[in-house]
Amino acid sequence: MGITKTEIFTRQQNETALLMKALGHPARIAIVEYLLSVNACICGDIVNELALAQPTVSQHLKELKNAGIIKGNISGNAICYCIDETAIATLRGYFGGISDNLEKKKKMCC
């Protein structure tokens, strides 16, 4: 079938998966890292940073934006993108939580 059965999972699980999925492509990881490497937002030169065509980059930016990982502000005829701290904090918290949990129940097997 090819369609994800979202209805059998919790809302939290679906949302977490969407966040992770948005970062599940090297171009989108590269975009996030680039946004991070420059102070503040980037208005314009994201396309030049990646060896991908402009529509492709635009599409990746859209996906990151839909997932809430980046924010875009219109600034003249360019658009100003930056990382949304909330999403990153969520991810940090998620993995931090798992990590702590694993530490506690340290190892009954494996």
Contacts to its own copies by CB under 8 A: 4-6, 8-10, 13-14, 16-18, 20-30, 32-33, 36, 39-41, 50-52, 71, 73, 80, 82-83, 85, 88-89, 91-92, 95-96, 98-99, 101-102, 105, 107-110
Give the interface segment with DNA, choosing from 37-45, 85-93, 98-106 (CB under 7 A). 37-45
* 3-class state of residue 68 by DSSP: coil
Question: Does 38 participate in binding DNA (rule CB under 7 A)?
Answer: no
Count CB-CB contacts under 10 A for residue 83.
17
The closest alpha carbon to 92, from 1, 16, 12, belongs to 16
CA angle 69, 72, 74 (to 5 degrees): 175
Residue with tokens 């100003």: 80
Question: Does 58 participate in binding DNA (rule CB under 7 A)?
Answer: yes
Residue 34 interacts with, from DNA, its own copies, none (CB under 5-8 Å by kind): none
